[in-house]
Amino acid sequence: MTYAFFLGCTIPARSRGYEMSSRKVAEKLDFELRDMKEFICCGYPMKASDKVSSELMGAYNLSLAERNGLDVCTLCSSCASYLTEVAYHLAEEGPKRDEVNKQLSRLGLEYKGGVKVRHFVRVLYEEVEPKEIKKHFKRDLEDLKIAIHYGCHYLKPSGIYENFDSADYPKSIEKLVSMTGARVINYAGEQNCCGGPLLPIDEKTALSLAKEKLDAVFDVGADALCVVCPFCSVMYDSNQKTMLSGSGTNFGLPVLYLTQLLGLAMGFGKKELGLNMNVVKTKELLKKYFI
């Protein structure tokens, strides 16, 4: 299986642990994530300011993948959602695609509407047999209690995602976490947004939204929160300390990418999975497994 690997902006600069662990997991599963240096921002960060230009950026990326005969695989949920949306709107021939292609032609490119976009986690869920994943497991994570944060754009808007999972009662990530032996525990407000997009606008509101979730997760006694998007991780991991300062609590809840959990089960080391770069320390958690 080969996909054009869409890293986006945030991951290669700020969430290298996610990138490293995803590459490791893909390698194990004999799954090629092909690097494409020409890829640029997916366009989503500009949607609010200039939708026409942002769609053009999305289409530019899609046309590059198409030229290479590949579908696109992303790690960031916002890249996944936005590129899926652009691909959805440009799938049919029409004035919209003509206009985009007029612009792309200045770079010698054209988008013919044939690219599929997939989040890496969706690929693991839909395209890899559980036994194919499990056969690589070397550690049983049965001592871990994991709370899952699906986040918004991994599942929504559901209309463009062909119902690969339910937006109200999702189960794809839970299935993958459960394979490792870890126990998935539920908490109040699982569906809530991390608040990430609000961070530059109103930090206080953004952090209260994120804190609500951390409180709920802590209350049910989870050992870690599992995420699949770098923005969610920035909120829960990078900003956890700021959020809790002055609130009298300091729970130090580790936030792990799903690929870091799978990588742990596959027997990879802390550094190979970039776990040493997580902001909330994972030391106590890993001690259970003598790592």
Partner 1 sequence: MIEDVTHNRADLQFGQGFAEQLGDVRLSACFMCRACTSVCPITRLNDSFNPFRFVRLALFGYIEEVLESGLIWFCTNCYACQEKCPHGVRIPDLMTALKNLAIKTGYAPREVLLQMNIVKDQGRIYPIDEFDNKKRGKLNLPSLPVSCEAVSTLFNENSE
Give the residues lining the site for partner 1 (CB under 8 A): 7, 9-10, 12-14, 16, 19-20, 23, 35, 37-38, 40-41, 45-51, 53, 56-57, 60, 103, 106-107, 152-153, 156-158, 167-168, 191-193, 195-198, 200-202, 205, 208-209, 274
Locus of tokens 């995602």: 161
DSSP count for the chain of H helices, then E strands: 13, 8
Q: How far is the CB of 271 from partner 1 (least distance, A)?
A: 9
Strand order in the sheet with 2-6: 32-35, 2-6, 72-74, 117-119
Judged by CB, which is closer to partner 1: 140, or 162? 162
Closest of 102, 90, 36 to residue 59, by C-alpha: 90
Judged by CB, which is closer to partner 1: 78, or 180? 78
Judged by CB, which is closer to partner 1: 223, or 237? 237
In angstroms, what CA-CA distances link 104 with 65, 97, 133, 288?
Answer: 14, 10, 40, 53
Judged by CB, which is closer to partner 1: 167, or 216? 167
E strands in 24-108: 32-35, 72-74
Q: How far is the CB of 191 from partner 1 (least distance, A)?
A: 7
Q: How far is the CB of 35 from partner 1 (least distance, A)?
A: 5
Judged by CB, which is closer to partner 1: 22, or 180? 22
Judged by CB, which is closer to partner 1: 53, or 249? 53
Q: How far is the CB of 182 from partner 1 (least distance, A)?
A: 26
Q: How far is the CB of 142 from partner 1 (least distance, A)?
A: 30
Buried-state track 147-169, b at ≥16 Cβ within 10 A, e below 16? bbbbbbbbbbeeeebeeebebee
Tell me if 64 sits within 8 A of 4, measured CB to CB.
yes
Judged by CB, which is closer to partner 1: 132, or 190? 190
What the block records as the tokens of 173 is 């990530």
Q: How far is the CB of 180 from partner 1 (least distance, A)?
A: 24
- Cis amide leading into 157 (omega within 30): yes
Tell me if 236 sits within 8 A of 203, measured CB to CB.
no
Q: How far is the CB of 85 from partner 1 (least distance, A)?
A: 10
In sequence order, which residues have a C-beta less than 8 Å from that of residue 50 and are 6 or more positions away? none
For residues 198 and 185, give the distance between their C-alpha atoms in angstroms, rounded to a whole number. 28
